[in-house]
Amino acid sequence: MTGRRQRRLMAGIALAALLPLAGIAQETGGLRLTFGIAFRAETTSNVALESPAEGRTSQIGTRLSFGLFDETRAGSLSFQASGFLRALDGPGGTETGFETPDLRFAWNRSGARSTLGVTAFLREADLDTLSGVLIDSETGDVTNLSGEGTQRQTGGDIVYTFGAGEPWGLTLSAGLTDTTYQDAPGEVDNLRTRAGATLRFALNPATEATFGLRHSTYKEDGAVRSDTLRAELGLTRSFPLGNISATLFAEDTEDGTRTGLSFGRSVDLASGGRLSYSLGATRGASGNTNLTGALDWTRPLPRGSLSLSLRRSIASGDGDEETLATSLNLGLTQNLTPQTALSIGLNAAEAEETATGDTTRTATLNATLTHELPRDWTLEGGYTHRIREEEATPRATSDTVYLELRRTFDWRP
């Protein structure tokens, strides 16, 4: 990232943080400070999911965190910061220092008929902890990360909603995410911006229609900027136990036009859980039509919960290339005793570039045992197994075992 670009982004975050403070600082009540400390030791084989596999990496460290939260009748403010002070020993040698800083700011102001929200962030992460096919839960954009190095993301969003509780309403949003890499061969710095507007109409007390426009840009260093414009029409009808919806969209991209149609249903189950699903088809810019859809299911258990999520969509991937993405997430949480809980999770994803057919598959299986200790301390141990497969590349696997002791302190002035 150039110095001018870095200064511009940091100035934007500072402005987003400082402007709302002037108004909310005069409010009273609801102020809370949190301080967190966590001691962690872990060992990982083939931490970067390379093929052939590299050696074992071990680290010990302390994560420090701070949070400021203020809530009033007119809005809320939060600021969170954390970082990891660690010593690491791996195939590349020994490293020490303060790593993976994470800064997050959020401000929300509510009026009689409108709300204004501002968020900003600056976060760093090791690529070896992110390796895999990552799918954005809101936009569906796909990122395929692998190897070693550091990723830094800086950005934020502004969202304004008008007409809450009225027969019609409007939502305006804008934001950006600047991503840079250090010591990460194969990864390219990029900047993604986004802006959108959604108009909502209540056709009757049970039926609502929406029309939205969203424009986004994607620019990699040394490459031409690509633009995407999406128009979406939605219809939702409410019933006592859930909703029925239909969505039609058209997306103009640099590679061509993408169109899709889907129908969905959501139901509140008698067991206390919830089921929502959608099914449709999308014609990609390549001219091929693919089945798309989503499934989300949650079920409470006598001493825990069970969840399932399945997604299949066509969206922008690395380099803004059109990508067919499929993901599966399965989670189980079970309280073994009043102080001890077990969590098991399975995450699998596949990303296929529609133009070339290049496919990447990743999967993660993790198990975590958490035990509450006296004086509000928590002891946690876990195991994670990761798999990565790429075209013409042997399968890569990685195993991690860790132990963590942590505590959070709350203070109200």
Number of domains into which the chain is organized: 1
Percentage of the chain modeled with pLDDT above 70: 92
CATH number at residue 195: 2.40.170
pLDDT surpassing 70 at residue 122: yes
Amino acid 16: pLDDT = 44
What is the distance between the alpha carbons of residues 361 and 390, in angstroms, rounded to a whole number? Answer: 7
- Does 267 score more than 90 pLDDT? yes
Give the pLDDT mean for 113-139.
86
Q: What is the mean pLDDT of residues 277-289?
A: 91
CB 121 within 8 A of CB 105: yes
pLDDT given for residue 13 in this prediction: 45
Highest averaged pLDDT of the listed ranges 20-29, 135-144, 265-274, 348-357: 265-274
Distance in angstroms (rounded) separating the CA atoms of residues 125 and 127? 6
Which one has a higher pLDDT value, 104 or 165? Answer: 104
Residue 14 predicted with pLDDT over 70 = no
pLDDT band of residue 24 (cuts 50, 70, 90) is very low
Q: Taking residues 300-307, what's their average pLDDT?
A: 96
Phi-psi label, residue 256: left if phi above 0, alpha if psi -120 to 50, beta otherwise:
left
pLDDT tens for 317-338 read 777 788 899 999 999 999 999 9
Nearest of 262, 290, 291 to residue 277 by alpha carbon: 262
CA 298 to chain centre: 19
For residue range 43-100, list pLDDT tens digits in order: 999 988 888 888 899 999 999 999 999 999 889 999 999 999 999 898 878 888 888 9
Write the CA distances from 2 to 121, 180, 188, 217, 384, integer angstroms. Answer: 19, 10, 14, 19, 37
- Of how many residues is the chain composed? 413
Question: Predicted confidence band at 29 (pLDDT cuts at 50, 70, 90)?
Answer: low
Q: Which residue has the higher pLDDT, 255 or 18?
A: 255
Res. 144 pLDDT band, cuts 50 70 90: confident
Three-state SS for the chain is CCHHHHHHHHHHHHHHHHHHHHHHCCCCCCEEEEEEEEEEEEEEECCCCCCCCCCEEEEEEEEEEEEEEEECCCEEEEEEEEEEEEEEEECCEEEEEEEEEEEEEEEEEECCCEEEEEEEEEEEEEHHHHCEEEECCCCCCEEEECCCCEEEEEEEEEEEEECCCCCEEEEEEEEEEEEEEECCCCCCCEEEEEEEEEEEEEEECCEEEEEEEEEEEEEECCCCCEEEEEEEEEEEEEECCEEEEEEEEEEEECCEEEEEEEEEEEEECCCCCEEEEEEEEEECCCCCEEEEEEEEEEEEECCEEEEEEEEEEEEECHHHCEEEEEEEEEEEEEECCCCEEEEEEEEEEEEEECCCCCEEEEEEEEEEEEEECHHHCEEEEEEEEEEEEECCEEEEEEEEEEEEEEEEEEECC
Half-sphere exposure (CA, 13 Å, Cβ side) for 146? 20
Above 70 in pLDDT, residue 126? yes
Interval 261-285 mean pLDDT? 94
Contact present, 231 and 252 (Cβ < 8 Å): no
Using alpha carbons only, what angle is made at residue 257 by residues 145 and 160, rounded to the nearest 5 degrees?
A: 70
Contacts of 106 (CB under 8 A, 6+ apart): 76, 77, 78, 79, 117, 118, 119
What is the arithmetic mean of pLDDT over 208-216? 97
pLDDT the model gives residue 137: 65
**pLDDT (0 to 100) of residue 390:** 87
**Beta bridge mates, 261:** 248, 281
User: What is the domain range of residue 249?
Assistant: 3-411
Place of tokens 């403070």: 21
**Please, what is the average pLDDT of the chain?**
89
